[in-house]
Amino acid sequence: MPKKGIEPLRRQQLIDATFQVIHEIGLADATVATIARKAGLSTGIVAHYFGDKAGLLNAAMRQILSQLKDAFAQHRGQAAADPRSQLRALVDANFDPSQTSGPAMRVWLTFWAASMHQPELARLQRINDQRLYSNLAYQFHRSLPAEPAREAARGLAALIDGLWLRGSLVGGQIDGDNARHIAYAYIDFQLQANAL
Amino acid sequence: MPKKGIEPLRRQQLIDATFQVIHEIGLADATVATIARKAGLSTGIVAHYFGDKAGLLNAAMRQILSQLKDAFAQHRGQAAADPRSQLRALVDANFDPSQTSGPAMRVWLTFWAASMHQPELARLQRINDQRLYSNLAYQFHRSLPAEPAREAARGLAALIDGLWLRGSLVGGQIDGDNARHIAYAYIDFQLQANAL
Amino acid sequence: MPKKGIEPLRRQQLIDATFQVIHEIGLADATVATIARKAGLSTGIVAHYFGDKAGLLNAAMRQILSQLKDAFAQHRGQAAADPRSQLRALVDANFDPSQTSGPAMRVWLTFWAASMHQPELARLQRINDQRLYSNLAYQFHRSLPAEPAREAARGLAALIDGLWLRGSLVGGQIDGDNARHIAYAYIDFQLQANAL
Amino acid sequence: MPKKGIEPLRRQQLIDATFQVIHEIGLADATVATIARKAGLSTGIVAHYFGDKAGLLNAAMRQILSQLKDAFAQHRGQAAADPRSQLRALVDANFDPSQTSGPAMRVWLTFWAASMHQPELARLQRINDQRLYSNLAYQFHRSLPAEPAREAARGLAALIDGLWLRGSLVGGQIDGDNARHIAYAYIDFQLQANAL
DNA sequence: TATGAATGAGTGTTCATTCAT
DNA sequence: TATGAATGAACACTCATTCAT
C-alpha cells in the first residue's frame, strides 16, 4: 500500500529546493541533480512528480506568483477601503518582509528573465502583471480620471518592479521601509497632482 | 600579411551576433556555435578573439553599458545646464529610440539576471548603476537637500529600470514617449515636493 | 486469506500483456511499467511473479514455443498416418489462423532476434528448432533416403520460417492459404523428386 | 584548414564498428559509447557525423542493403542470360561467402526485427524486398505463366530468407554450399513443374 | 497479495574547448 | 588569421529494481 499524502510534501520539498538552488547558484547552474540533492531526494524523483525539469520550474514559478497573489489578498483585506489605503496595501504586499528577504527577489527576476523565451512562463507572468495593473488602475480611477489613472498605474507598477529589480542585484535584502516610503510618496503625488 | 584592422571588425561581428542570438533565443540557448554561425564565422574564432565564451559575454555586456554611457553623454551635452533639463536628459538617454527598440532591453535584462551569480558581470553592473545614481543624486541635490535628493535619485533610478524591465517582456518595443512622460512627471514631482 | 489460483491468472495476464506490448511498440520500447500498465497491474508485480524482467520475457517465450508445440500435436493427431499427410499437418500447424494472425509472428521474430545474444532464449529456440527438424526429417525419411530426407527437412524448415519471417514485416496477417500452398508444393516436390 | 576527405573515412569507421558491436553484443546492448570506442573515436563524433544514434543505425542499414544490391549486380553480370542461370545468380549473390560469414546474417536479422517498429527502417527493408521479389518474378515469368511465376518468386524469396534466418542463430557461418544446393533444387523444381 | 514511491546506474545528447592544419 | 574536426565532461531523462506499507 502506497504512502498517503506524500505527494504534496515531496512536491513542496522539490520546489523549495529549487528556490534555494536558484538563489544560491542561479538557474543556469541549477541541475536536476543539484536540486534533488538539496531536497535530500534522488534525481529520478523529479520525473516522477513533475515529468521533467521544465515541469518543476513551471511549478516553482506558479508558486512564486501564487504567494504574491496571497500576499495581496491578505494585505488588502486588512486595509481600509479608501483608494489611498488600498494602494498602500498593494505596495505593502510587495514589500512585505516575507517577500523582500531571502531568495524571493532573485528567483522572481530569474523567472522574469527566463520568461522572455519560454511561452508558458511568459503566460503566467502576463497573467500576474495584468492583475497588479488592473488593481492599481482600478484604485487610482476611484480618485482620478481614466487616462491619468492608467498612467499612474503604469508608473507605480514600474516603480515597484524597479525597486524589486534593484533588490535582486544586492545579495542581501532590500530596504523594505525605504522602498515602501518611495512608493507611498508616488501614490500621494499621483492622487494629488491629478485629483478630480 | 595580416589584414589591418581585422581584429576590431571580427570582435564587433561576434558581439553583434551575441546580441541577436540572445534577443532571439535567449542566453540559455545561446551556444558558441549558434553565435559564430550567426556571425558567419567558425566556432574556433571565439577562443581566438575572446579566450572563451565568458570572455565574449563579458565584452558584450561591456558594450551594452558603454552604449548607455555614450547615450548619457550625448544627451546631457545637448541639454541646458539647469537641474531639471539635466535630469530630463538622463531620462532621454534611457528612452532614446536607439535603446528602446530591438534587442537592447532584452539583452540588458539578460545580463542583469546573469550578473546575480557572476561576480565579474555584477561588478560592471554596479559601476554603471553607481554612475547613473550619482548623476541623478547630484542633479537632484542642486535643488534639494541631501537626503531627499538621494531618495529622489533612488526613486527615479528604480522607475527607469522598472520601465525598461516591463519593456523586456513584451516582444516589441517600449512606448518611449509614454515612458519619458512618466519619468518627467516624477522629476517635477520630486523637484517641487521637496524644493529648498 | 489468499485467493486461490490467483497466481496462474496474474502470470497469464502479464504474459499476454507482454505479447501485446511487443506487438505494438516492440521489445526495445517495452518497459516493465508499460507491460504492467497494459495488464492493469502495478510495476512491482513483475518482480513478485517473475523475479525480474528477464524472467517475464523468458516465460513469454516459453509460452510462444509451447503454443506452437501444442498446435503441432493437435494437427498431427487429426491427420492420416502417411508421411505426406503428417508433413502437411506440420505445415498446417504453422499456418493455423490462430498463429498467423495478430501478434504471433512479430513476437516470434522478436524473440528469435533476441535469442542471438541471450543464451537462455537461444537454448529454448534450439530445442524448438530441433523438434521441428526431427519431425520433418523423420517423416521425409519414411519415403526418402537419409541424406535427401535431411536436406528436404532443412529446406522445408527454412521455407516455413521464411514465410513467417516475411509475415512479420507486414503489419497485418500472413496469407495462410497461400503460404500453405507453397509449402505443400515443396513437400510433394521433395517426395517425388527423391522418392525411393 | 580542416582535414580533407576525412568525413567518408570516419563515417565508414563508425558503421563498421556498429556492425561489429551488433554482431558481438546485439543491438539492445549497443550504446553510442560502445560503438565509438570500438571505432577508436569519442562519443561526440557520432552526433557530428550522423546527428544521433538513429542516424548511425540508419546509415548502417543502408550500407547492408547496398552491399546486397552490389552483390546481386555482380553475380548477375557474370551469369548467362537464360532464366535458370539468372535465378541461380540471384541465389549465389545471397550465399556468397562475403555475405554468409561473419556478422552479416546477424546484423541483417537485427535490422529486420528492428524495422518492425521503425518506419524508416521498414521503408528501406521494403524497397529491398521488392527488388528481390521483382527480379525473381521476372526471371520465373520468362519460363512460367504469370501466377505460377509469382508464387515461385514468393517461395524462393521465403526460402532464401529462411536459410539466412537459420544462419543467424548459429554463431558461426551458414553452410553456403548446402544452402545454395537447396535453393538450386527449388528453382529447378519450379521451372519444371510449371513449365510453359 | 499488491502497490507505487523511491532509487541510482546507465544512456543519448549537447557543447565549450582544443588543436592540427 | 581562420577553420572545423575531435574530444570528453556534464546534463536531462529513463527504467529495472527494491521495499515499506
Segment C143-183, tens digit of pLDDT: 999 999 999 999 999 999 999 999 888 766 678 889 999 99
Interface of D with C in 22-51 (CB under 8 A): 25-29
Domain ranges of chain C: 1-51, 63-193
Of C115, C117, C181, which has the smallest distance from its Cβ to D25's Cβ?
Answer: C117
What gap in Å lies between CA D172 and CA C38, rounded to an integer?
38
| Spatial separation of the C-alpha atoms in residues A150 and A140, rounded to whole Å | 8
> For residues A2 and C186, what is the distance between their CA atoms, to the nearest angstrom?
60
Cα angle B150, B155, A69; round to 5 = 140
**Nucleic strand F near CB of residue B45 (< 7 Å):** yes
Q: Which nucleotide is at minimal CA–C1' distance from A43?
A: E8
pLDDT tens, per residue, chain B with 196 residues: 455 689 899 999 999 999 999 999 999 999 999 999 999 999 999 999 999 999 999 999 999 999 888 988 899 899 999 999 999 999 999 998 888 877 889 999 999 999 999 999 999 999 999 999 999 999 999 999 999 999 999 999 999 999 999 988 876 667 888 999 999 999 999 998 766 6
Q: How confident is the model at residue D1 (pLDDT cuts 50, 70, 90)?
A: very low
- CA-based torsion, D45, D47, D50, D54: positive or negative: positive
For residue C67, give the amino acid letter. Answer: Q
Amino acid at D69: K
Q: Look at residue C103 in the predicted model and tell me its pLDDT.
A: 84
Q: Compute the CA torsion angle B37, B43, B47, B53 (nearest 10 deg).
A: 60
For the domain spanning D1-51, the CATH number is 1.10.10.60
Please say if the pLDDT value at position D170 is more than 80. Answer: no
Q: Count CB pairs under 8 A between chains A and B.
A: 116
How far is residue D184's CA from residue D173's CA, in Å, rounded to a whole number?
20
- Give the span between the Cα atoms of B107 and B63, in whole angstroms: 11
Q: Mention every residue, 6+ apart, whose C-beta is less than 8 A from residue A82.
A: none
Q: Which of C132, C147, C133, C128 is nearest to C190 (CA)?
A: C147
Q: Identify whether the C-beta of residue A84 lies closer than 8 Å to the C-beta of residue A183.
A: no
Nucleotides of strand F under 7 angstroms from a protein beta carbon:
1-21
Q: How far apart are CA B179 and CA B167, in angstroms?
A: 10
Nucleotide in closest CA–C1' contact with B32:
E16
Residue C157 with chain D: CB contacts under 8 Å: 162, 166
Residue D183 CA, chain-centre distance (Å), reads 17
Tell me which chain D residues have a C-beta less than 8 angstroms from the C-beta of C125: 169
Q: What is the pLDDT of residues B162-192, one digit of tens each?
A: 999 998 887 666 788 899 999 999 999 999 8
> Residue D14 is placed in which grid cell?
563508425
Best of D159, D170, D175 to mutate (most C CBs within 10 Å, chain C): D159
Cβ contacts (< 8 Å) between C122 and chain D: which residues? 169
CB contact D120 to C (< 8 Å): no
Minimal C-alpha gap between D41 and chain C (Å): 25
pLDDT over 90 (residue A14): yes
CA dist C189 and C151 (Å) reads 13
Contact check, Cβ <8 Å, C166/D155: no
User: What CA–CA distance (Å, rounded) separates A17 from B162?
Assistant: 29
CB contact under 8 A, A166 and B161: yes
- How would CATH label the architecture of B62-193? Orthogonal Bundle (1.10)
Q: Is the pTM of this model over 0.95?
A: no
Contact, D6 CB vs strand F, < 7 Å: yes
Query: Which positions in chain C touch D158 (Cβ < 8 Å)?
Result: 159, 162-163, 165-166, 182
Among all protein residues, pick the one whose CA is nearest to the C1' atom of E6. Answer: A45
> Of A151, A126, A120, which Cα lies nearest the Cα of A56?
A120
Q: What pLDDT score does D22 carry?
A: 97
pLDDT at B1: 44
Supply the pLDDT for residue C195: 66
Q: How far is C189 from chain D (nearest CA, A)?
A: 7
Distances (CA, A) of A183 to A152, B91, B144, C144, C190: 12, 19, 19, 106, 100
pLDDT tens string B80-91:
999 999 999 999
Q: Cell for D1?
A: 584548414
The per-residue pLDDT for range D133-150, each reduced to its tens digit, is 999 999 999 999 999 999
Chain C interface includes D186 (CB < 8 A): yes
Q: Is residue A44 over pLDDT 50?
A: yes
Give the C-alpha separation, C64 to D187, whole Å.
33
Q: What angle do CA C68, C69, C75 make, to 5 degrees?
A: 90
- Put simply, the answer to whether B165 touches A158 (Cβ < 8 Å) is yes
**H/E stretch holding B28:** none
The closest CB to that of A117, out of B25, B155, B163, belongs to B25
Nucleotide nearest to D44 (CA to C1'): F7
Question: How many CB atoms are located within 10 Å of the residue A141 CB?
Answer: 17
The whole-angstrom separation of Cα B27 and Cα D56 is: 31
User: Is the Cβ pair C116, D126 closer than 8 Å?
Assistant: no
Q: Report how far residue D79's alpha carbon sits from residue A125's, in angstroms, rounded to the nearest whole number.
A: 75
Alpha-carbon gap, residue D55 to D47, rounded angstroms: 9
DSSP state of B173: -
Residue with minimal CA–C1' distance to F18 is C44
pLDDT higher for C37 or C167?
Answer: C37
The distance (Å) linking the CA of A88 with the C1' of E6 is 47
Please judge whether C116 and D129 are an interchain contact, meaning their C-beta atoms are less than 8 angstroms apart. Answer: no
Mean model confidence pLDDT for chain D? 92
User: In chain C, count of helices (H) and strands (E)?
Assistant: 10, 0
Q: Could you tell me if D165 and C165 are in contact, meaning their C-beta atoms sit under 8 angstroms apart?
A: yes
Of A122, A159, A163, the CB nearest to B169: A122
Q: Which nucleotide shows the minimum CA-to-C1' distance to residue B33?
A: E15
For A122, name the nearest residue in chain B, comparing CA atoms only: B169
Q: What is the DSSP letter of D28?
A: G
What's the CA B44/C1' E19 distance, rounded, in angstroms? Answer: 10
CA-to-CA distance for C55 and C52, rounded, in angstroms? Answer: 5
D63-193 CATH fold? Tetracycline Repressor; domain 2 (1.10.357)
* Burial (Cβ within 10 Å: 0-12, 13-18, ≥19) of residue A147: exposed
Contact B160, B81 (CB under 8 A): no
Q: Do chains B and A touch (3 or more CB pairs under 8 A)?
A: yes
Coil vs helix vs strand at B81: coil
Does B1 lie at the interface with A, CB-CB under 8 angstroms? no
Closest-CA residue of B relative to A156 is: B159
Distance CA D149, CA D139 (A): 8
